[in-house]
Structure 1
Amino acid sequence: MPAPVATSAAPPRRNAALGFIFVAVLIDVMSLGLIIPVLPKLVEGFTGDTARAAEMLGLFGTAWALMQFVAAPVLGLLSDRYGRRPVLLLSIFGFGFDYVMMALAPSLAWLFVGRVISGITAASFSAAGAYIADVTKPEDRAKSFGLVGAAWGVGFVLGPAIGGLLGEWGPRVPFWAAAAFAFVNGLYGLFVLPESLPPERRSPFRWRRANPLGSLALLRSHPELLGLAAVTFLFQLAHHVLPSIFVLYTSYRYGWGTSELGLMLAATGVANIVVQALLVGPISRAVGDRGALLAGLACGALGFAIYGLAPTALVYWLGLPVFALVGLIQPAVMALMTRRVGAAEQGQLQGASASIIGLTGLIGPGLFTLAFAWSIRGDASQALPGLAVLLAAGLMAAAALLAAAVTAASPARQGEDPG
């Protein structure tokens, strides 16, 4: 029988804490987004060659994902041992110092080290997830995780837009802005963020559980957790298809230029915000977290299928409202997973989940770019440019079938804490 989870604190404290987590995630993601438009230019300035810059950016992205994979379990376990507050604050201030370091970077090697540190500090989102589990009732967790997901969406809509404007003043200016955001965020938390994990509910730190493979021991100890972790791996892997090939695919198939690409990206971001901020809570209450998870996975599979088969840009656009409901998946799966561990294991759980996501970041880009490249080579009459997207649809469908099987023994309405 799963260990009991922590109950929520008094509503005012819980609301204030969730407000900080929302703002903290929003500012952290905005800071990450600020540098997206200018990092390639800065790298190209060091290399002096566009092709070499592209290679280095690929290396930077791999290193960032690798650091997420390695560091997330460590930070999650540290939050179980010392509390969520110090881990969150140290990571936020670490973000700030890292952006200063990259703003001052005199060489490509210095910039690379900055991206490595950024990957480590970004792994603090596992502590944020554990904080939410500490202060939120089990039946409200999907809604709370959905609000944090909306913060991600808002941050990635605003961050690149602001970064692009600031970049007109120079490629290093957005780094200084990102540092300022991070330091303000840290000072805000220093004065308003309470600790969510009392000393009596903390667990000792053990290095054997802090490595990515060791952190998965928690998942193996709970059969349903292992199944839900596999679901997470499949849908997160599928999710990498659009960041990896969206620009190439839509330009190749529909002839989209910068304006069309920007409009679709903006519309996707807005749709994601609407789903996670406004729909996750009501849908989870209506059909339970299990129902929301299955609906999100089914819509993800269907949406990817529409994207992969769409013969025209108009049909591709018609897939957006369907695909937007993938925003139900992550809040629902995290709500289900957090119910199945105790308060002293929430950080470890979040760290293990973040490691799984980091692993998909190491696999997904290469998988989908190679599939897309293979699909458009040779005789154009035999080409299937949507092959990579259809592969993602298959992964989503497999995740839906697995989720249905794993959660079959759970009640349809997940309003009660199992125990």
Structure 2
Amino acid sequence: MNKRTGFILFLVVATELIGFGLIIPVLPQLALKFETSSFMIGLLMASYSIAQFFSAPLLGYFSDKIGRKPVLLLSKFGTVLSYMLLAVSQSYTLFLMARLLDGFTGGNISVVRAYVADVTTEKDRPKGMAIIGISFGFGFIIGPAIGGLIYQNNLDHSLAALIAGGASLLAFIFTLLFLEEPKKHKEIKKKSSLIKGLMSLKNPSIQVVFAVYFIYMVVFSGFETSFAIFTSNLFLFTTKQNSWLFMYAGILALFIQGGITRFTPKNLQRTSYIGIAILAFSFLGLAITFRVWMLLGFIFFLSIGVAIMNTYLPSLLSSYIDKDKQGLVMGLYEGVGSLCRIIGPIMAFTIILEFPRHTYFLYAVLLIFGALLLSVGLKGKKTK
């Protein structure tokens, strides 16, 4: 994969996360202005993930059928429209429509993963997949940083939406002008079949990877949405201190993700197993931590585990998928992630207010179970 392609794919994903970081922190406060119920606020927060759960597999399938580039363009254009709608929204209904539109057209991460699979060998694929992780880290740093400046100066949400839309428009233009359809995919897209793609889920190895990803994402999405409550309850952190903590985690993720691209593991299963084991260790540590320096240390290990999982687990999955089914299966993979972003926060908020430490013990147990699934459910997958 050449540098130009890598940069454009980075831009596609990073602008998605910058927009996320700009808008999500203030959605609950914006919804409260409309004097709506707690359920409706929760629906607004979950609307993006609900829409993406249904759309990501379809976008993945269509990327198999008609090409990666057209679907990426459609996805980014939908994101631009959603932010323009959000910028002018003055009612709950318009806010909800904007979030649903972004969710329905926002399944581009699965298409980016399929694109990477098209243009890399199995040996080099983890380096390509790492671009997505680096984009996440960059987006989670820049988005909240810009958002903090906007909201600190009491500026309207419309400015944040316009900045997010402008960033996505830039990614759309770069994709339109400079991204080429993968040559390998041009040769195979006519073979793509929805039924055959779904039948590939009968592969036991793919089922195991999906199960492990489900466990990982339930834990991670619950953690990222409730971590501020954990630190506020146990360390009395303020909102500002929590913001600095999230920035610390984002910077760590960015550098660690960039660092692991230098390594090409011989066994993707074993590497993923190490990643999930590090995560289990990190949550056990967080459950018993009582000093800020310990908290920072375990977040460091947590960032390593997340970087490994975000890079090598999709690479492992890709190695089990036929070339003409990459988009659909990666879309289903992303759909599972969207479902977990609904389940994870609900599970976390159900128990963390009363039992903050017990929540992280539970996460560690779930991850240990995931590690066992990886170790006994798969044959070692070596890079070719």
What TM-score comes out, normalization by structure 1 length? 0.85
In the alignment, does 2:219 pair up with 1:219? no
Contact 2:137 2:251 survives alignment (8 Å): yes
1:299 pairs with one of 278, 282, 290: 278
Q: For structure 1, list consecutive stretches of 5 or more residues without a partner in the other structure.
A: 1-10, 210-214, 377-383
Distance 1:398 1:157, change over 3 A: same
Cross-structure match for 2:345: 365
1:278 pairs with one of 259, 262, 265: 259
Cross-structure match for 2:267: 288
Residue 232 of structure 1: how far off its partner (Å): 0.8
Cα separation, 2, equivalents of 1:166 and 1:260:
18
Cα separation, 2, equivalents of 1:140 and 1:286:
10
Cross-structure match for 1:21: 9
Cross-structure match for 1:32: 20
In the alignment, does 2:187 pair up with 1:200? yes
Residue 164 of structure 1: how far off its partner (Å): 2.5
Q: For structure 2, list consecutive stretches of 5 or more residues without a partner in the other structure.
A: none
Residue 61 of structure 1: how far off its partner (Å): 2.2
Cross-structure match for 2:214: 233
What is the CA deviation profile of residues 359-398 of structure 1, one whole-angstrom value per residue up to 9, with x for unaligned ones?
212211111111224xx2xxxxxxx531111111111111
Cross-structure match for 2:125: 141
1:337 pairs with one of 309, 313, 317: 317
In the alignment, does 2:232 pair up with 1:261? no
What is the CA deviation profile of residues 327-348 of structure 1, one whole-angstrom value per residue up to 9, with x for unaligned ones?
1012111111111122111101
Q: Secondary structure at the match of 2:356?
A: coil
Mapping 1:150-229, distance limit 5 Å: 150-167=134-151, 168=153, 169-196=155-182, 198-203=185-190, 217-220=199-202, 222-229=203-210
Contact 2:6 2:131 survives alignment (8 Å): no
Residue 62 of structure 1: how far off its partner (Å): 2.0
What is the CA deviation profile of residues 281-311 of structure 1, one whole-angstrom value per residue up to 9, with x for unaligned ones?
41xx255322321111111000011111213
Question: For residue 181 of structure 2, what is the amino acid of its counterpart?
Answer: E
Cross-structure match for 1:75: 59
1:315 pairs with one of 294, 316, 323: 294
Distance 1:287 1:325, change over 3 A: farther
Cα separation, 1, equivalents of 2:58 and 2:108:
10
Contact 1:72 1:352 survives alignment (8 Å): yes
Question: For residue 317 of structure 2, what is the amino acid of its counterpart?
Answer: M
Cα separation, 1, equivalents of 2:270 and 2:194:
37
What is the CA deviation profile of residues 35-84 of structure 1, one whole-angstrom value per residue up to 9, with x for unaligned ones?
2344334323332x7xx4x5433211222211111111100000000000
Contact 2:60 2:331 survives alignment (8 Å): yes
Contact 2:15 2:168 survives alignment (8 Å): yes
Identity value in percent: 25
Q: Secondary structure at the match of 1:240?
A: helix
Q: Secondary structure at the match of 1:350?
A: helix
1:45 pairs with one of 33, 38, 45: 33
Question: For residue 396 of structure 1, what is the amino acid of its counterpart?
Answer: L
Cα separation, 1, equivalents of 2:213 and 2:26:
31
Cross-structure match for 2:376: 405
Cα separation, 2, equivalents of 1:232 and 1:37:
25
Cα separation, 2, equivalents of 1:136 and 1:198:
12
Distance 1:187 1:385, change over 3 A: closer
Cα separation, 2, equivalents of 1:132 and 1:259:
37
Distance 1:310 1:353, change over 3 A: same
In the alignment, does 2:319 pair up with 1:351? no
Cα separation, 1, equivalents of 2:9 and 2:67:
15
Distance 1:392 1:217, change over 3 A: farther
Q: Secondary structure at the match of 2:157?
A: coil
Q: Which stretch of structure 1 is more off in the superposition, 194-203 or 138-147? A: 194-203
1:244 pairs with one of 200, 204, 225: 225
Residue 106 of structure 1: how far off its partner (Å): 2.8
Question: For residue 397 of structure 1, what is the amino acid of its counterpart?
Answer: I
Question: For residue 200 of structure 1, what is the amino acid of its counterpart?
Answer: E
Cα separation, 2, equivalents of 1:217 and 1:232:
19
Question: For residue 284 of structure 2, what is the amino acid of its counterpart?
Answer: A
Cα separation, 2, equivalents of 1:129 and 1:188:
18
Distance 1:286 1:339, change over 3 A: closer
What RMSD in Å do the two structures reach over aligned CA positions?
Answer: 2.0
Larger Rg: 1
Cross-structure match for 2:361: 390
Q: Which stretch of structure 1 is more off in the superposition, 315-324 or 341-350? A: 315-324
What TM-score comes out, normalization by structure 2 length? 0.93
Q: Secondary structure at the match of 1:340?
A: coil
Distance 1:164 1:263, change over 3 A: closer
Distance 1:23 1:280, change over 3 A: same
Contact 2:222 2:346 survives alignment (8 Å): no
Residue 208 of structure 1: how far off its partner (Å): 6.1
Contact 1:154 1:269 survives alignment (8 Å): yes
Contact 2:222 2:341 survives alignment (8 Å): no
Contact 1:38 1:174 survives alignment (8 Å): no
